[in-house]
Amino acid sequence: MAAPEPFRRPSSSVRIGAVTIGGGRPVAIQSMTNTDTADPSSTAAQVIALAQAGSELVRVTVNTPEAAKAVPEIARRVRAAGVNAPLIGDFHFSGHILLT
């Protein structure tokens, strides 16, 4: 006997890069790196590994100015590897970093 469908609240669909979430779409798989984002080599490698494992969206912590400066290089390395999963900056309640 199949499990019943879980209740899902109605929601609007939103595109994040090539991924659409909400609006009755299937649940999107997302993950978050646990590397030091200021280290573009290890963070890009982990983003690539997560995407290859099936993560459709990948979050990276942006908690310092050094981490923020590394994001373009991380994105460049990830795209050069042929990975197109959207990268999402996770600011951990440090919204003031966005303003500097």
68-100 per-position pLDDT tens digit:
999 999 999 999 999 999 999 998 665 665 566
pLDDT exceeds 80 at position 51: yes
Distance separating alpha carbons of residues 67 and 58, to the nearest angstrom = 15
pLDDT exceeds 80 at position 16: yes
Work out the average pLDDT over 34-48.
98
The number of C-alpha atoms within 13 Å of 84 and in the hemisphere containing its C-beta is: 4
Listed in sequence order, the residues at least 6 apart from 25 whose beta carbon sits closer than 8 Å to its beta carbon are 13
**In the chain, where are the structural domains located?**
28-99
Pairing of strands 57-61, 30-32: parallel
Which is more confidently placed, 82 or 2?
82
Work out the average pLDDT over 24-49.
97
Considering the chain, what percentage of its residues have pLDDT values greater than 90? 74
**Average pLDDT score over the chain:** 91
Distance separating alpha carbons of residues 96 and 67, to the nearest angstrom = 14
What pLDDT is stored for residue 97 in this prediction?
A: 58
